[in-house]
Amino acid sequence: MAHSPFRVEPGKKVDLPKWPTDDTGPFKDKSQAKDEIKKHVNRLIELQELLYASASHSVLIVLQAMDTGGKDGAISHVFSGVNPQGCNVTSFKAPSHDELAHDYLWRYHQACPKRGMMEIFNRSHYESVLVERVHEIVTEDVWSQRFEQINAFERTLIAENTLILKFFLHISKQEQKRRLEARLDDKTKRWKFSPADLAERKYWDEYTKAFEDALRYCSTEEAPWYVVPSDHKWFRNWVLSATIVKAMEKLDLKYPQPAEGLDKIKIR
């Protein structure tokens, strides 16, 4: 299968301003993609049931983005039909006192999916080379070592039959401005707005550089990063759903063998 045009090739230098944020692929508009997205979402429901039934693999989906990048929206749309019994979402906030007492990967490992489960990380272990770097919570000699530590962590999960898919939801600074303004204008969305978002926006260039390094050094053959054009929410959903479905189909999941003699049972 040919590699996705959104996939970051391992070791390749990433220049995010050159990656389009408003791409619409083969579609002219949302209406043209509607049926394709629905098909992928329905297929994802089938694959998640197979994953849960077989209990032979697990799936870890990592979502990272600038503020307002669309992580929540992607989760609610792409995974709208999956069985919540076999899917979990973990959103990582500032670490607790107990979490700070452990190594920086500890809390993420606790949330990794067991076999049969799909786990979605809304933010992830990559915060350790993003926000901690940008805000100088750790020094360069600390965060610069973490790329290989993260790769080793992911290799461990992969060796235990975890499929890892990592998505950077790529929006333009102008689109972020529009979305922030929309939150202010809509009283039903004002609860989503935080003055901290404006403070973080001032670090746009620093975050861009941090994301570029994370994508470059941590996109591997086994756990690739995908840069998803996300100015158009519907196209973001198409890329995510299509990529996840293709990757899960390659697992060749099977239902467990039923017990012998079931065809002879008569229920009265």
Q: What is the CATH number of the domain that holds 107?
A: 3.40.50.300
Q: Rounded mean pLDDT of 189-209? A: 92
What are the pLDDT digits (tens) for 122-178?
Answer: 999 999 999 999 999 999 999 999 999 999 999 999 999 999 999 999 999 999 999
Residue 81 lies in a domain: yes
What are the pLDDT digits (tens) for 225-239?
Answer: 999 999 999 999 999
Alpha-carbon distance 107 to 128, whole Å? 12
- The pLDDT > 90 percentage for the chain reads 89
- What is the count of structural domains for the chain? 1
Residue 247 lies in a domain: yes
Residue 1 lies in a domain: no
Query: pLDDT value at position 2?
Result: 56
Residue 9 lies in a domain: no
Query: pLDDT value at position 1?
Result: 40
Residue 261 lies in a domain: no
The parent domain of residue 197 ranges over 16-254
Residue 264 lies in a domain: no
What is the chain's mean pLDDT, rounded?
95
Residue 243 lies in a domain: yes
Q: Which residue has the higher pLDDT, 197 or 161?
A: 161
Residue 22 lies in a domain: yes
